[in-house]
Structure 1
Amino acid sequence: MEINEKTVTEEHHGERLDKWVNYQISELSRTRIQDMIKDAMVTVNGRKVKPNYRVNTNDHIIVKVSEPEPLDVKPENIPLDIIFEDDQLLVVNKPRGMVVHPAPGHVSGTLVNALVYHCKDLSGINGVARPGIVHRIDKDTSGLLVVAKTDQAHQSLASQLKAKTTHRIYQAIVHGVVSHDKGTIEAPIGRDEKDRKKMAVTHQNSKDAVTHFTVEERFAKYTFVRCQLETGRTHQIRVHMDYIGHPVAGDPKYGPKKTLDIDGQALHASELGFRHPVTDLFITFSAPLPKDMNDLLNKLRERG
């Protein structure tokens, strides 16, 4: 049982309780939240209320979230592109279209299903549904992920991510011609209030986010860029590039419908560096662009 306690701030005064809880705990659906409120798993100032209750400034709200039923993660003999492996961790080049870990609607064919088949032992810090998973990349983004085999490795890698000492480079094809050769996007990211499945640049319940970009190649209507993450917010590059008017090509969530012919966003995690949890040596790995992105770049070059 996970217990969340929060006090309503002035900016949310008058909001429906179920909407407020959904904003605070975005992974919960509105339907589930409403059921939780009816079952008194959500209380306001120590008492049971209705889902349509309007919250007031300084209301003290307690949300009790029961643990979900554990997913039965079955080992699957799915080929893995393993860049590096030792007894502490492995670095994998994930293909576009592969989900990282099982979730409702994606219980098989995930990276975790493949990892459980490949490895006897994986870190258990993130539970049975996400063994070894320290960080994620989106289903339709390709590229490098580090996976922890031991809890020691997991804790070390997670600490490095939190301290912003890892090295993470992405390459992307974006809409429009980026005028500056390089730049830094420093804009906080939080849940989009109009669409809870999206993130947005916002100052409401947001976290700081910094992306550095460099132009690698310009075309008539597109630009090939290199992005370095200083922070690692959900959909960070996709949100930041859209924010400056250059959404990632093929992005179904943040980009235009008329785009390049690619199944998913043209975004690839090409470099990953971190300190090894045992040797403390800083190691860096790279993965070449996948064929679909290379083909797109060649077509853009042919167009002139």
Structure 2
Amino acid sequence: MSDQRSMPVPDGLEGDRLDAAIARMFGLSRTRAAELIVDGNVLVNGGAAGKSDRVQAGSWLDVTLPPPPTAPVPRPEPVPGLGIVYEDSDIIVVDKPIGVVAHPTVGWTGPTVLEGLLASGVQLTTSGAAERQGIVHRLDANTTGLMVLAKSEAAYSVLKRAFKERTVDKRYHTLVQGHPDPLRGTIDAPIDRHPSGDGRFAVVAGGRPSVTHYDTLEAFRAASLLEIKLETGRTHQIRVHMAAMRHPCVGDYLYGADPTLADRLNVRRQWLHAVRLGFDHPTQGRLMEFESPYPDDLAKAVEQLRED
């Protein structure tokens, strides 16, 4: 929308050229001020004037300032490797690749699941915060695997409640250092931000209740492949609980993993994959179950351990 300004010429601009006076009064360049005059956007005492005309103090100016140019809004870009496993009018299930977060966050400049889907023409519900539309749960940037998002408002409401009430079956596989003792068990330990304030999370007295069930699927010389079932969904929950047991996820340097083992297996991120996801369809009620195979980097690490 144009900005209309009306005012007298100040005494200090007596005798200046009209373009120079407009430039000083409105903080414009001389070139831009001249363009406004030539385009008929400046009237002096109600009439047209030339850019080189000299102004008199007290003369009345009517100036129409065009709206400032708006910066182009960046268009979402498709996300390579973001696989669509299932889609209907209410939900979409995706297989998230490495290096992708669920939705835009402060400080993150990389790809997101949300923007990748929007770029592909997927319409998600607008329920919730604008930057998190359709998001009902998240995976860390370098955790791969299955996510479900809501496309309808009804699905968003039902799925949010299902995750809150712990009725969603979330299964992960993780490769951890060493051999947990016992081989099967439950970790019930509260999690909150690490006291250092460095972005990590930790088992902290008074933190949010967090429950992780684990079962050893396969044991190797220096590592174990575990299946994890989550009751709660705290940030970094599996990584924090495994580190608290002194069996950090292989490659998870943030939580104390041994770089020697990760280098030997060529693992460049935490070995953690959301392998299965089960829930009741939010509008149809039928049980939905999905599985995701290991990405190449994780599969090759396990193959190498078996060969060793």
| TM-score (normalised: structure 2) | 0.72
- Shift in Å, 1:121: 1.9
Structure showing greater Rg: 2
Q: Is the counterpart of residue 132 in structure 1 residue 137 in structure 2?
A: no
Instruction: State the match for 1:102 in structure 2.
Output: 104
- Shift in Å, 1:203: 1.4
- Shift in Å, 1:118: 2.1
Deviations 1:212-238, CA, capped at 9 Å, x for gaps: 101011111111100000111111100
1:89–1:119 Cα change, 3 Å: farther
Partner of residue 297 from structure 1, selected from 295, 302, 305: 302
- Shift in Å, 1:180: 2.3
Matched ranges for 1:166-245 at <5 A:
166-204=168-206, 206-245=207-246
**Number of residue pairs aligned between Structure 1 and Structure 2:** 231
The separation in 1 between residues aligned to 2:162 and 2:287, in whole angstroms, is 11
Instruction: State the match for 1:50 in structure 2.
Output: none
The separation in 2 between residues aligned to 1:105 and 1:191, in whole angstroms, is 18
- Shift in Å, 1:100: 1.8
CA contact 2:99–2:111 (8 Å) conserved in 1: no
CA contact 1:209–1:236 (8 Å) conserved in 2: yes
Point out where structure 2 has 5 or more consecutive residues left out of the alignment: 1-72
1:182–1:120 Cα change, 3 Å: closer
Deviations 1:46-80, CA, capped at 9 Å, x for gaps: xxxxxxxxxxxxxxxxxxxxxxxxxx673213343
- Shift in Å, 1:139: 0.3
SS at match of 2:130: coil
- Shift in Å, 1:110: 1.7
The separation in 2 between residues aligned to 1:108 and 1:201, in whole angstroms, is 29
Which 10-residue stretch deviates more, 273-282 or 155-164? 273-282
Deviations 1:26-51, CA, capped at 9 Å, x for gaps: xxxxxxxxxxxxxxxxxxxxxxxxxx
Q: Is the counterpart of residue 267 in structure 1 residue 269 in structure 2?
A: no
- Shift in Å, 1:108: 4.8
Instruction: State the match for 2:256 in structure 1.
Output: 255
1:120–1:97 Cα change, 3 Å: closer
CA contact 1:73–1:129 (8 Å) conserved in 2: no
Q: Is the counterpart of residue 93 in structure 1 residue 98 in structure 2?
A: no
* Letter paired with 2:250: A
CA contact 2:135–2:149 (8 Å) conserved in 1: yes
Instruction: State the match for 2:113 in structure 1.
Output: 111
- Shift in Å, 1:284: 1.0
The separation in 2 between residues aligned to 1:285 and 1:233, in whole angstroms, is 22
Instruction: State the match for 2:285 in structure 1.
Output: 280
SS at match of 1:172: strand
Identical positions, percent: 38
CA contact 1:219–1:300 (8 Å) conserved in 2: yes
Partner of residue 83 from structure 2, selected from 76, 81, 84: 81
| TM-score (normalised: structure 1) | 0.73
Instruction: State the match for 1:6 in structure 2.
Output: none
* Letter paired with 2:247: H
Point out where structure 1 has 5 or more consecutive residues left out of the alignment: 1-71
Deviations 1:281-300, CA, capped at 9 Å, x for gaps: 12111101111111000111
The separation in 2 between residues aligned to 1:157 and 1:93, in whole angstroms, is 18
Matched ranges for 1:134-153 at <5 A:
134-153=136-155
Which 10-residue stretch deviates more, 274-283 or 257-266? 257-266
Instruction: State the match for 1:158 in structure 2.
Output: 160
The separation in 2 between residues aligned to 1:212 and 1:194, in whole angstroms, is 27
CA contact 2:249–2:257 (8 Å) conserved in 1: no
Which 10-residue stretch deviates more, 218-227 or 95-104? 95-104
The separation in 2 between residues aligned to 1:228 and 1:151, in whole angstroms, is 28
CA contact 1:140–1:263 (8 Å) conserved in 2: no
SS at match of 1:253: helix
Please provide the CA RMSD for this pair.
1.5
The separation in 2 between residues aligned to 1:102 and 1:175, in whole angstroms, is 32
The separation in 1 between residues aligned to 2:250 and 2:110, in whole angstroms, is 28
CA contact 2:142–2:270 (8 Å) conserved in 1: yes
Which 10-residue stretch deviates more, 225-234 or 114-123? 114-123
1:73–1:139 Cα change, 3 Å: farther
